[in-house]
Structure 1
Amino acid sequence: MATASAALPFSVTGAAVALPELSAQLGSSIGATQWVQNAFNLTFASMAMACGSLADRFGRRRVLLAGIGTVAAMALLIALSDSLPLIDLLRAAQGCGGAAVLASGAAVLAHAATGQRRRFAFGVLGTSFGGGLALGPVAAGALVDVAGWRAVFFAVAAVALAALLCARRAPESRNPAATPLDWPGLGTFTAGLASVSFVFVGATTHGWGSAATVAPLVASVVLLTAFVVVEARDVRRAMFDVRLFRRADFVAVVCQPFAVTLAFVVLLVYLPPYLQGLTGRDVLSSGLALIPLTLPVLVTPLLGGWLGARTSLRTVLTLAAVLNAVGCLGLLTLNPHSTWLGLAGPLLLCGLGVGLAFGVMDNAAVSSVPVEHAGAAAGIFNTVRLAAESIAVAGAAAVLTNWTAAALRRDGVPGGRAGEIAGHAVQGLVDGSEGAPVGAALSSAFHLVAVGLAALSVVGAALTYRALRPRPAR
């Protein structure tokens, strides 16, 4: 499970690093190439809860093997493909496999281990997932430099195949009291979450007021409202008991990604292109610049599990959110002349915060419900986490692009041209003659994103501290 969890985030960060060369070789536009990321993120986020329910009903090991096999097969086909529309379809299928791995794998661990062994297992799981995120930009940069963009997907396939061989020995488990599959809940939730992702895709491509943005926004509200109604009407058959959301401690754990991990993912995806386009770094050196952010994630998950066992979950998660908020505010100094040392402090704080949280979040989520419902609990937690991360990636792209374009228009650049320049700049493609105004505009947009992420972390720290406070025994 740890090996598979390392491959999944690398599928996100590695693909982000490979996008510029993929776009150039296949002769595609910036908007079309962005769907290589959007297609994966959309299905990865929207299918996690469904896969958790399927794992509880049909077997966690079975769903885990199917998910790892799908990730490996799709990565191999992507590496061999020369058609961008086909790559987009394969990435969507790969996202479904990734969702199955996350939801079923956490449930397998929850069923197979208890007590200290479970805490250690989930600490290792957090380290592996964080390691995939952390090493992704550097490893992908080296692979792209040496062998091209296809090497990134060959690497994902190789790691997933290794995980598949290990996972064949995993014990099988399921919920013995599982009810028939909740198709109405499954359909409304998956479609509603997919509509949320389309909101930010439309905002990036067409603007916030366009029909392509407003229509999926309305659809997402209707579908998610219908999901709550459907699930509350027949709790016995529901794929997840929505009454759990009445518990403040459960909500606090499930919503941790908003407070902690969003900044980490946004920086991994968009800081390397910023450094490549505005500071002249190549792919590898821009990945190395993120070492202060990524290195702590390889160490601190186990520390977070150890600290949580000796203090409290409340202490670890609140501390993680505070460190993240301070690190985000430190990024207000980011500019085209930023040095490695100048970025190291803020990035280190963000890395420490997310690493501590990775060590306790998954275990806390599956421990909040009876073990027979571990698949559903892992599904809802990973759904929220992945949805938050994919929405943050798409939302950050929209903010960076639109804010940069608006600043360029104020400097006299025509509207259509400003949008085109901004879109290229966010992906690290900056014309030398436009460097100064683009650098100022994109840096200002990054500062806005950093303030928003810091605000989320501050609110999350306060709510976590309150929701997880000790209560007198009754």
Structure 2
Amino acid sequence: MATLVAVALSSVMLPLAVTAPAVALTQLAADLNATVGEAQWVQNAYNVTFAAFMLAAGGLADRFGRRRVLVIGLVVFTAMATVIGLSSNIVVIDIARAVQGIGAAGIMTSGSAILADSFRGVARARAFGLLGTSFGFGLAMGPFVAGLMVNFADWRMVFLMNIAFAAVVLLLVRSIRESSDPNSTSVDWGGVMTFSTSLFLLSLAFVQGAEAGWLSLSAIGSAVGFVVFLAAFVLVESRVRRPMFDLSLFKRPTFVVVVCQPFTITFGFVVLLVYLPPFFQGVGGFGAAEAGALLLPLTLPVLALPMLAGQLAARLPLRVMLATSSLLIAGGSLWLMTLQPGQHWTALAAPLALFGTGVGSAFGVMDNAALSSVEVERAGMASGIFNTMRITGESVAIAGAGSVLATLSLSTLDLSFASPEQERTLAGEATQGRLETALGQFAAGDRQTALDAVSTSLTSAMHTTFLGLALLALAGAVVTFLVVKERELR
């Protein structure tokens, strides 16, 4: 029981580190006078390293011990949260967030592998159901708790609260039995470096595209660099004796579809968690606590449903469960196209709840399915691959959606009194909920016109994004139902 509680509690911190800063970012950026790009890297830096080092953390856990990597990851994660909470320099915060992502990778991969080694059969399904509930709790309560802390304390408390979680886990972790893969002899550092660099360049391409233009030298160069390093990663992985990313597994269609579920399940969820709070705080006119509370219809199902989904997984075909989850997400995305600035919360409760039901019903099922596709001795590797895809999807979602929203908003802005650079700044700041800063660049008599224009353009951009998420989820539902074979899961 102590093992399960320790892993579950440590896992709560990981989604909190994504969703809570999304609510606090508006105040953080204003307090530190950060630019749009600097503020965006508070989210991007964490997600890039989280995804990039997932495979390395899985390899290290298999070789040197899963409990050991869990402890190290926990210490690194909490230390960086402390640095962020005490710092007043945005560059230091961005760097600390990047290091914090490395610690998060150690926590996630080692925790999943510990559960896979400690439980079997129905007990394993229940354990991963609880793990899904833990992620759901972090996702569900992150915006709400962060909103309260920002309103009644300070944005710094959003990061410093991790100290309390870490203290409890460190007391429990000594009861976890150490485990490792006896066949693991080395870490694929070549794969780590090429993959990490490719993911960083992809995120940089999105940021530069929104700030400098999609045809700018920096955006195109970053995109080309991403392709080059991704190709180098594939080449490295095909030549090492024991790769961290076992490419042979990708010859199995079921495995491919299962590990790609985060792109259809989690992708859109993260977009809503990160970009709806600034929308509510900016053009919506709500406070931080209210913005967090408005997301509860979306997040509470993710807290409540994973345990039930874990139990249903023993009775229902996996492809049916995952395909149904994607269909619910598609329906919720389409329904969200009714979003308007300042509307009453009841108008959004139903579409957000439908979307959240789709996500919650998939959590607690995806992890177990991914780990069931390989031998238990390679659980760290399988966990690393699956969670790399999960966090890569989140990283791309956060970096890409922010850039797309800013670009779409800018494309429909037409202010006769504003320069192109002023319009670009207005669109970028609006996506982060910082309208007061953005409107300050205009004369007092022009600010209401600018506010009305950017409210309309950003809302239209959100609608287009929701349509894209619906199409992605619908495609995922069809592919999952047609491709996944139950007999190929252990």
Q: Same fold (TM over 0.5)?
A: yes
Report what 1:362 is aligned to. Answer: 367
Q: Which runs of 5+ in 1 are unaligned?
A: none
Say yes or no: does 1:335 pair with 2:351. Answer: no
Say yes or no: does 1:245 pair with 2:261. Answer: no
Is the CA contact 2:128–2:368 (under 8 Å) kept in the aligned structure 1? yes
Q: Which of 23, 27, 37 matches 1:31?
A: 37
What is the Cα deviation at residue 422 of structure 1?
0.7
- My pick for the range that moved more, 152-161 or 342-351, is 152-161
Q: In 1, distance between residues paired with 2:166 and 2:208?
A: 32
Report what 1:377 is aligned to. Answer: 382
Is the CA contact 2:317–2:486 (under 8 Å) kept in the aligned structure 1? no
CA shift in 2, pair 1:410/1:464, >3 Å: farther
Say yes or no: does 1:264 pair with 2:269. Answer: yes
What is the Cα deviation at residue 19 of structure 1?
1.4
Q: Percent identity?
A: 48
Q: Give the residue type in structure 1 aligned to 2:187.
A: L
Is the CA contact 1:81–1:87 (under 8 Å) kept in the aligned structure 2? yes
Say yes or no: does 1:190 pair with 2:196. Answer: yes
What is the Cα deviation at residue 201 of structure 1?
2.0
| Structure 2 length-normalised TM | 0.93
What is the Cα deviation at residue 315 of structure 1?
1.1
Paired residues for 1:6-405 under 5 Å? 6-234=12-240, 236-405=241-410
What is the Cα deviation at residue 423 of structure 1?
1.2
Q: Give the residue type in structure 2 aligned to 1:177.
A: N
**CA deviation map 1:309-367 (0-9, x unaligned):** 11111111001000000000111111114321111111011100110111201111111
RMSD over aligned Cα atoms: 1.7
Q: Which of 448, 451, 473 matches 1:435?
A: 451
Is the CA contact 2:37–2:207 (under 8 Å) kept in the aligned structure 1? no
3-state secondary structure, aligned to 2:283: helix
- My pick for the range that moved more, 390-399 or 219-228, is 219-228
Report what 1:466 is aligned to. Answer: 482
Is the CA contact 1:42–1:194 (under 8 Å) kept in the aligned structure 2? yes
Q: Give the residue type in structure 1 aligned to 2:298.
A: L
Q: In 1, distance between residues paired with 2:393 and 2:213?
A: 21
Q: Which runs of 5+ in 2 are unaligned?
A: 1-6, 440-446
3-state secondary structure, aligned to 2:348: helix
What is the Cα deviation at residue 372 of structure 1?
0.8
What is the Cα deviation at residue 472 of structure 1?
10
Q: In 1, distance between residues paired with 2:397 and 2:387?
A: 15
3-state secondary structure, aligned to 1:279: coil
Q: In 1, distance between residues paired with 2:378 and 2:239?
A: 19
Q: Give the residue type in structure 2 aligned to 1:146.
A: F
Q: In 2, distance between residues paired with 1:158 and 1:83?
A: 24
Q: In 2, distance between residues paired with 1:86 and 1:470?
A: 48
- My pick for the range that moved more, 225-234 or 123-132, is 225-234
| Structure 1 length-normalised TM | 0.96
Is the CA contact 1:204–1:402 (under 8 Å) kept in the aligned structure 2? yes
